[in-house]
Amino acid sequence: FTPFFAKVKSKTVVSLYNNPLVWRHFGYEGESFSKGGYINRGFDDLTWLPDPPADASPPAA
């Protein structure tokens, strides 16, 4: 990267990650600690991803 392109990339990434409109667009609801954590709050709510076959994971211990 040239220094100019690195600066443009850095500013773009920061402005996207710090933009609540972008969060809303992708379904990010903010930090989860104050709401009980991701384990209890839908860390696996991937409605756009099909469920894997049963043999894709070992049985729970």
Q: Is the pTM of this model over 0.85?
A: no
The CA–CA distances, whole Å, from 3 to 7, 10, 13, 60 equal: 6, 10, 15, 49
- Would you state the pLDDT for residue 33? 84
Dihedral sign from CA coordinates of 41, 43, 45, 51 = negative
Tens digit of each residue's pLDDT (9 = 90 or more) over 4-40: 999 999 999 999 989 999 988 988 888 888 888 877 7
Which tokens sit at 4? 């100019």
- Would you state the pLDDT for residue 18? 92
Dihedral angle, C-alpha 40, 47, 59, 55, nearest 10 °: -170
Tens digit of each residue's pLDDT (9 = 90 or more) over 50-60: 888 888 888 87
Which tokens sit at 26? 């992708």
